Chains A and B, each alone.
Chain A
Amino acid sequence: MVKIALIGAGKMGLSHLSILGAHPNVEIVGVCDTSKMVVQVLERYSGYKCFSDYQKMVEETHPDAVFVSVPTKYHYPMVKELLKRRINVFTEKPFCLNPEESIELAQLAKAAGVINQVGYHNKFVGTFREVKRLVKAGAIGEITHFQGEAYGPVVVKKKSETWRSDPTEGGGCLMDYASHVIDLINDIIAPIESCKGSILKSIYSKNVDDSVYALVGIESGVSGVISVNWSDETYRKMSTSVTIIGTEGKIESDANELKVYFKGDKFPKGYSKGWNVKYVTDLTDEVAFYLRGEEYSAQIDYFIKSVTGENSHDINTFDSAWKTDKSISLIKKQSSYV
């Protein structure tokens, strides 16, 4: 049994707790939250040992690994403290508020020799995994351009303030929402290393951006566009997609449906010339417990198996999340020149 403690039982934390609770190889040894109500409900109905101070929790419960799902500004100090104690860490995305904090933690984790993972769950989505496989195999030839998009209805009117509306706490569309697409592009193609122009726009929010539009590039010089808007109520829920154009074909994919076009007679097994459509249902492995998407269960199972040494542990490492924080910071910096 892997002994797990969790800090921050909010929306994301409860989802993690539920999946962890159903995992056959996990024992939940402690939960920490500063909300009295959350703690009382979890103690009374789930029987978890609860704390309001995470350091105290860690000292008393000796977990093998800790899940960190508090608002983003706390990721850095808490993860740092956990790494000092050589505890394996799964933390929510985005990793930190800036890449300086991220690289420090990535290095600390390496030095401590602990398992480290960040919650960019899209990497466990079947369609996106297949996109990566196709791109890395050179199936659509040389890439000439890419587009990463995400739209959804997070802020669709002027709202009361939460941590999501405070830029110093990791709020805003770029940090909270666009980070998913940026991380996906970084993983599938290559890290975004330049930004030629970007606009961060507020629509309803007073202090943070509600949409992000950026012209970006990777090391090889290939260009791309990032277009993200979390104030688009024509979407029922977050919809993330990538379009990749290559010399031999084109890929369009979201989390449900993968469409690939091959120009010529060279294509991978299972595909044919012209348009091909595959559904996530064909590309997804079943999970042992389903809550809200196979990817959420799969990322947790992957982390647990990393802790028990059953895989190579190279998905969503702190190192990859640091690169994503770097790309985010480039886009943010560029926007201030407009």
Chain B
Amino acid sequence: MERIIFGDNQFFAVNHISDEKSRAQSIKFKDDSAIIKTLDIAIASGINTFMCTTHDRIANICEIIRQDPEKYQDFKIYPCMPYAHKYANAVTELGIAGTLKQYVPGNFVSSLFKGGMAYVSKDFISIMELMVDAEMKMFKGINTPVIFLQNVITDLLLGLGMNEFLIGFANYVRQKYNAEPGFITMNLPKLLDVLEKGGITNPIICTSINKVNFRMSGGKEIYEKTLREGRCRVIAMQVLGGGAIPASEALEYVSNLPNIESILFGASSKQNIENTVETIKYHDQKNKERLITRYNEYEDQYASPVSAVN
């Protein structure tokens, strides 16, 4: 995975601290062209991975990308499914059974209900697989090397102990899409335990990591401990702690943590995008230099012929 990944919250008026900002964003990104323009800025500053929800409007973005294969040659999308509001609204209106009937392709569900659900256990994993297919339709022809389960669903299943669905998702994504499964969660330590128990080692997990303990369930210390153990490939999100800390300070903290493979961020202005990229690169460079210095010191101390003789 690339070091820096571009997110989509800003496009869909998801702002964790201000309804006013959300409003301003939904006005700014009313047209798909505004989204594409911002994506192009991100690409120009060296980011080639876009992580996005399977929101209806992403289908339009995919269409634009498909039409310009040359320009988007190296471009990758990490889909995050499902777009939970769509299903939550449907459940309010149609109930759980009605929602399944509406969103699972074909007449699988209707026949299931008619058939009296004799093989219920296997069938519900199949339903999930069909729903993954439905969500993946919009990405046809686009490079999607990692496919994520959204945190509301990951964490709901985690709390309900429905680990089979988490493992089933991972297996299916590998098998059918030849992609790596990813999980978004607000409960990193707990999820990692469950995935490992289910036989998934070194999973890709996207989770809140920030200096102020925002959405890091159980606390920062246990997250930092989990990171040190290096048991998973982490994408850090919500690094600004919902906007509570200055960006430079926030990025410095995350850049200096061990075993964070990627940093996910979203921004709408050219300046913020470029600043973020530069700041992360700056800290990464500094870390590299620090490592080299340390290595050289080590060499001087233990490996030079003089000290060896002494």
Residue numbers of A with Cβ under 8 A of B are 10-11, 14-15, 17-22, 35-38, 40-42, 44-47, 153-154, 159-160, 162, 164, 236-237, 239, 254, 256-257, 279-282, 286-292
Contacts and interface: CB of A to CB of B under 8 A. Distances in A.
Contact of B164 (A45, A254, A287): A45
A178 B20 CA distance: 21
Interface of B: 12-20, 22, 26, 85, 88-89, 91-97, 117, 120-121, 124, 152, 155-162, 164-165, 186-187, 190, 212-219, 241-244
Q: Which 3 A-B pairs have the closest CB atoms?
A: A18-B159, A290-B186, A281-B244
A49 B165 CA distance: 19
Contacts of A292: 152
Contacts of A237: 85
Given A41-B120, A154-B92, A281 B156 contact: no
A256 B156 contact: no
Given A281-B244, A290-B155, A38 B96 contact: yes
Nearest to A38: B96
A258 B176 CA distance: 47
Contacts of A37: 96-97, 117
29 contacts: A11-B91, A17-B160, A18-B158, A18-B160, A19-B159, A20-B159, A21-B159, A21-B160, A37-B96, A40-B117, A42-B160, A44-B124, A154-B92, A236-B12, A236-B13, A236-B22, A254-B19, A257-B19, A281-B212, A286-B213, A288-B217, A288-B218, A289-B159, A289-B187, A289-B190, A290-B155, A290-B217, A291-B159, A291-B186
B214 A281 contact: yes
B176 to A, nearest CB: 21
A256 B17 contact: yes
A36 B116 CA distance: 10
Nearest to B240: A281
B93 A160 contact: yes
Contacts of A17: 159-160
B216 A159 contact: no
Nearest to B161: A46
A266 to B, nearest CB: 27
Contacts of B92: 11, 154, 162, 164
B217 A46 contact: no
B3 to A, nearest CB: 26
B18 A18 contact: no
B233 to A, nearest CB: 21
Contact of A21 (B117, B120, B161, B243): B161
B44 to A, nearest CB: 29
